[in-house]
């Protein structure tokens, strides 16, 4: 059984130690043969750095690392190219001077490994100096300042070009946006860093005749950074159908590579009481897909989160491994600094240009949450002919991470634990059909959110309920597509009963009864219940009818069975802190 490569980003290390590897070399073969610049955005811990490492090994002609992989039996010529590989993930950003010194030190290390002279006035290769000087005035050795990372980057490209007999220099830049993102909450410093990187990446355009294959990765694609405005014919692979599976494990890869690990995990989880004794490999596979599958960059192909999947097999338990590995600091800072509301819980009808670009000065929450991995393209509603995309939560892990994401913004640990207890009470009372208990618990939960952020919009209250269920570790589905339309929220309790929730906003006091009936009529006419009918299960429905932004009226109606007479139960929340309950006859 092959080793699990959790945290392994070096392709040579992965191959030398016989780690498991999903063969992506056919896709990479297609890229390197095109010899043009490419950009790829993927969330953190999604395999970008490993992809870059594989590309480096291919470009250096290290065929011995690829035995048994697709590219080894292809017609690839294995010609070695000089490679500049830069990772900007750990660049120091406390000041502009730190940024420049960090960039310079990385370039100097490459020059040392390649034994390039640091003294351009007395170069190792006089012919190289003459060639560089005559072909581009900017490259005149006497005009370059080797204490400047921009000039040194230029020198490094030209120096390698002539050292390797005028072979095009491959450029691999991993996490290009890390220095900007690390200071995103400080707009002035972030803008200064962006200007430094604009000049630095501008070298790629100036050295076009000396460089060959270029591959750049990052989490976001900023519209104001020069590599996207100045670099000619840069191909963005982010939502390119042909490369949607370039990072992560497809379901086919999961099934072919993890069978032994699945069987081992099944035994271990049963022994620790984490699975029912009768659970099968197929049962465990299904739960893994619920937790970690669902990411899509084309609306068709789905991939599993590699970090979470490997972490699951290491620990033989389900958890929010991706979130626990560290919420992107820049995302939390940005939400806090911009007072971002809960719009990012729902995102419909984006075109590809919007998803592929983030303007840090005036960003849309949907594309930002897409690029950071909290939303993904719907696979049950692929992009239409006009390239309109709908975004959804990828899987249970991400849904269960939303509440902690919100709590991490402001709440100290003791308040987070209190909210978790409140959320667990909401869940328990809901499944016990304890109306007064549910009323009290949910009222206490929403009281944690200041009235200033309350919005008289359905998705806002949907987000609050989602937060409670995620915090209570309750599996749920939101915006679920069925034959008759979309269901706001669906929950399934351990006993097998289904809960279908409809949220409505009323605009005036007299609309309360009308809106409640409208919520139930909406379900009846669209036959939402048909999806959940099964042997012995009951289908419960809840209508939440909400009033204005300051006076929040919530009406809760619980049906004993979809096809039987329902018991109408109402309660009203006046603001986030007061509750009055009443019950009307059926």
Quick check: 140 pLDDT over 60?
no
- pLDDT tens digits, 484-542: 667 778 887 777 778 888 777 776 655 666 766 676 666 554 555 566 666 566 777 77
Average pLDDT over residues 61-78: 97
Question: How do residues 429-468 score in pLDDT, each as one tens digit?
Answer: 888 877 778 777 887 887 776 665 566 667 667 777 877 8
Per-residue confidence band for 108, with pLDDT thresholds at 50, 70 and 90: very high
Ordered strands of the 376-377 beta sheet: 347-351, 388-392, 376-377
Give every CB contact of residue 323 below 8 A, 6+ residues apart in sequence: 397, 398, 400, 401, 404, 405
What are the tens digits of pLDDT across the range 213-232? 999 999 887 765 555 666 76
Is residue 111's pLDDT more than 80? yes
What does the pLDDT read at residue 126? 43
* Dihedral angle of Cα 465, 467, 469, 475, to the nearest 10 degrees: 110
Residue 575 pLDDT level (bands cut at 50, 70, 90): very low
Task: Quote the pLDDT of residue 480.
Answer: 65
* Banded model confidence at residue 237, pLDDT cuts 50, 70, 90: very high
Distance CA 409, CA 328 (A): 12
Instruction: Using pLDDT thresholds of 50, 70 and 90, give the confidence band for residue 379.
Output: confident
Question: 17-53 pLDDT, tens per residue?
Answer: 989 999 999 999 999 998 889 999 999 999 999 999 9
What pLDDT shows up at residue 227? 59
What rounded mean pLDDT belongs to the chain? 78
What pLDDT, on the 0 to 100 scale, is given for residue 552? 42
Does residue 577 carry a pLDDT above 70? no
Structure-derived torsion over alpha carbons of residues 72, 76, 78, 79, reported in degrees to the nearest 10: 180
| Beta bridge partners of residue 235, listed in sequence order | 38
Q: How far is CA 277 from CA 137, 270, 580, in A?
A: 74, 6, 46
Cα separations in angstroms, 287 against 290, 319, 399, 568: 5, 12, 15, 35
* Listed residue (347, 464, 319) closest to 403, CA to CA: 464
42: left (phi over 0), alpha (psi -120 to 50) or beta: beta
pLDDT of residue 213: 95
Q: Write the CB contacts of 504 (distance below 8 Å, at least 6 apart in sequence).
A: 458, 515, 516, 518, 519, 543, 544, 545, 546
DSSP character for 415? H
Winning range, highest mean pLDDT, from 423-427, 537-541, 580-584: 423-427
The sign one gets for the Cα dihedral 139, 143, 146, 151 is: negative
Are 180 and 222 in contact by the 8 Å Cβ rule? The answer is yes
In the chain, % of residues over pLDDT 70: 67
> For residue 56, which of 221, 174, 209 has the smallest C-alpha distance?
174
* pLDDT tens-digit series, residues 163-211: 999 999 999 999 998 998 888 778 788 888 888 898 899 899 888 899 9
DSSP 519: H
Handedness of CA 460, 462, 465, 470 (dihedral sign): negative
Give domain limits for the chain: 11-243, 249-409, 411-586
Counting Cα atoms < 13 Å in the Cβ hemisphere of 345 gives 26
61 pLDDT more than 90: yes
Tell me which of 128-137, 324-333, 404-413, 526-535 is least confident. 128-137
In this structure, of 222-231, 268-277, 307-316, 512-521, the range with the lowest mean pLDDT score is 222-231
Identify the pLDDT of residue 429: 86
In terms of pLDDT, which residue wins out, 422 or 400? 422
Q: What are the percentages of helix, strand and coil residues in the chain, rounded to 5?
A: 45, 15, 40
Could you tell me the pLDDT band of residue 369, with boundaries at 50, 70 and 90?
A: confident
Confidence of residue 564 (pLDDT cuts 50, 70, 90): very low
pLDDT at position 125 over 50: no
**Lowest pLDDT segment from 128-142, 309-323, 426-440, 454-468:** 128-142
Identify whether the C-beta of residue 205 lies closer than 8 Å to the C-beta of residue 229.
no
- pTM reported for the whole predicted model: 0.75
Predicted confidence (pLDDT) at residue 337 exceeds the cutoff of 80: no
Q: Let me know: does 367 contact 357? Beta carbons within 8 Å.
A: yes
Crossing angle of helices 435-446 and 458-471, in 10° steps, is 100
């Amino acid at each position: 059984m092959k080793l699990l490569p959790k945290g392994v980003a070096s392709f040579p290390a992965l191959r030398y130690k016989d780690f498991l590897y999903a063969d992506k070399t056919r896709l990479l073969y297609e890229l390197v043969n095109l010899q043009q610049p490419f950009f790829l955005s993927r969330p953190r811990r999604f395999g970008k750095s490993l992809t870059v490492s594989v590309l480096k090994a291919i470009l250096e002609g290290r065929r011995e690392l690829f035995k048994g992989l697709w590219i080894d039996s292809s017609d690839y010529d294995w010609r070695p190219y000089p490679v500049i590989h830069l990772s900007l993930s750990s660049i120091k950003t406390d000041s502009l001077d730190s940024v420049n010194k960090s960039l310079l030190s990385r370039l100097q290390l490459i020059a040392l490994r390649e034994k390039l002279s640091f003294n351009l006035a007395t170069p190792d290769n006089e012919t190289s100096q003459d060639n560089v000087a005559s072909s581009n005035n900017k490259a005149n050795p006497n005009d370059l300042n080797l204490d400047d990372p921009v000039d040194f980057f230029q020198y490094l490209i030209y120096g390698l070009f002539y050292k390797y007999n005028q072979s095009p220099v491959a450029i691999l830049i991993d996490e290009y946006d890390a220095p900007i993102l690390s200071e995103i909450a400080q707009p002035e410093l972030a803008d200064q860093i962006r200007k430094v990187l604009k000049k630095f990446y501008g070298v790629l355009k100036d050295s076009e005749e000396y460089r060959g294959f270029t591959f750049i990765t990052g989490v976001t694609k900023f519209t104001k950074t020069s590599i996207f405005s100045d670099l000619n014919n840069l191909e963005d692979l982010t939502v390119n159908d042909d490369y949607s599976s370039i990072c992560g494990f497809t379901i086919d890869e999961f099934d072919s590579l993890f069978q032994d690990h699945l069987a081992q995990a099944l035994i271990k989880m049963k022994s620790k009481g984490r699975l029912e004794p009768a659970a099968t490999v197929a049962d465990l596979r299904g739960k893994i897909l619920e937790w970690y599958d669902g990411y899509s960059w084309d609306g068709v192909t789905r991939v599993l989160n590699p970090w979470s999947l490997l972490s699951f097999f290491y620990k033989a338990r389900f958890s929010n491994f991706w979130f626990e590995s560290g919420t992107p600091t820049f995302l939390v800072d940005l939400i806090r600094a911009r007072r971002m509301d809960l719009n990012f819980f729902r995102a419909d009808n984006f075109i590809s240009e919007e998803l592929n670009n983030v303007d840090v000065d005036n960003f849309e929450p949907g594309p930002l949450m897409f690029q950071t991995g909290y939303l993904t393209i719907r696979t049950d509603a692929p992009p239409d002919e006009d390239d309109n995309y709908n975004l959804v939560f990828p899987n249970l892990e991400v849904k269960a991470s939303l509440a902690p994401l919100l709590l991490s913004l402001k709440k100290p640990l003791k308040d987070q634990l209190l909210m978790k207890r409140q959320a667990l009470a909401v869940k328990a009372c809901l499944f016990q059909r304890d109306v007064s208990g549910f009323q009290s618990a949910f009222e206490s939960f929403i009281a944690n959110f200041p009235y200033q952020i309350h919005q008289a919009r359905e998705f806002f209250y949907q987000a609050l309920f989602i937060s409670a269920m995620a915090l209570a570790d309750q599996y749920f589905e939101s915006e679920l597509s069925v034959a008759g339309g979309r269901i706001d929220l669906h929950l399934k309790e351990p006993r097998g009963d289904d809960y279908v929730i409809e949220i409505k906003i009323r605009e005036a006091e007299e609309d309360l009864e009308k809106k409640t009936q409208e919520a139930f009529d909406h379900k009846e006419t669209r036959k939402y219940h048909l999806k959940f009918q099964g042997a012995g299960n009951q289908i419960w429905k809840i209508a939440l009818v909400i009033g204005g932004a300051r006076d929040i009226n919530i009406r809760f109606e619980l049906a004993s069975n979809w096809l039987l007479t329902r018991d109408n139960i109402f309660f009203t929340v006046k603001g986030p802190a007061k509750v009055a309950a009443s019950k009307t006859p059926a």
